[in-house]
Amino acid sequence: MSVGVEGIIRGIRGSGTAQTVLACTKLGKDLSSIKECENCTERSSKFLSREVVEEARNLLKLVGFEGPLAEFNKARERFLEGDNAGAITAAHGSFESTLKSILKKEKIDYPANATAKPLLETLRDKGYVYPFLGDFINSFYNLLTGLSTIRNKMGDAHGAGISLTQIESSYAEFAIHLAGSFNLFLLKRYLERQR
């Protein structure tokens, strides 16, 4: 997900040496220095991309959760295509599908039309989140359901109404990172309980 920088030959100087220019593949423009790219708001965090997004994809594949993996990949594809609302919706879909996949694998019943919050509450009741965390539990669930709020307000899952709202890429990237973090936590809890 991070922006690529390439050295592109723009011409040959009089001395016969090639003039190499740095270019941002995401923005499609030349850069005066690599520093310009490092401070670019369009550049995602390499750390989050590597440690959260890629790790979540690897674990989804490892446990065989094909649906959540396809939705997570769709979120990344939509983000790279500039479809920020679609990326938010797909990221949330991946998170919700991960919840449903874990419940299905654990043979725990849930309503077919259940949304993220009741699915999380079901997992909580089954010991996926320790009850002794007390007040933290409410904050934890508010944080987890925050992705649902972003999807409801900024994704393309609901009608836009009379006018379109421009969604900045920072929100889409945030939703993907949240979904990746939540999926990682849930998958690791799932694997811990399988041992």
Q: What is the pLDDT of residue 125?
A: 86
What is the C-alpha separation between 193 and 131, in angstroms, rounded? 16
What are the residues whose beta carbons fall under 8 Å from the beta carbon of 91, sequence distance 6 or more? 71, 72, 75, 147, 151, 172, 175, 176, 178, 179
Torsion-angle region of residue 6: left (phi > 0), alpha (psi -120 to 50) or beta? beta
State if pTM tops 0.75: no
101-112 pLDDT, tens digit per residue, is 999 999 999 988
pLDDT in tens, 46-98: 666 777 889 999 999 999 999 999 999 999 999 888 888 888 889 989 999 99
Digit-coded pLDDT (tens) for 15-50: 554 444 445 555 555 555 444 555 555 555 566 677
Question: Helix 84-105 to helix 66-80 angle, to the nearest 10 degrees?
Answer: 170
In the chain, what are the domains? 1-43 (no CATH), 44-194 (1.20.120.330)
Question: pLDDT tens, 117-170?
Answer: 888 888 888 888 776 665 666 676 676 666 677 766 655 554 555 545 677 788
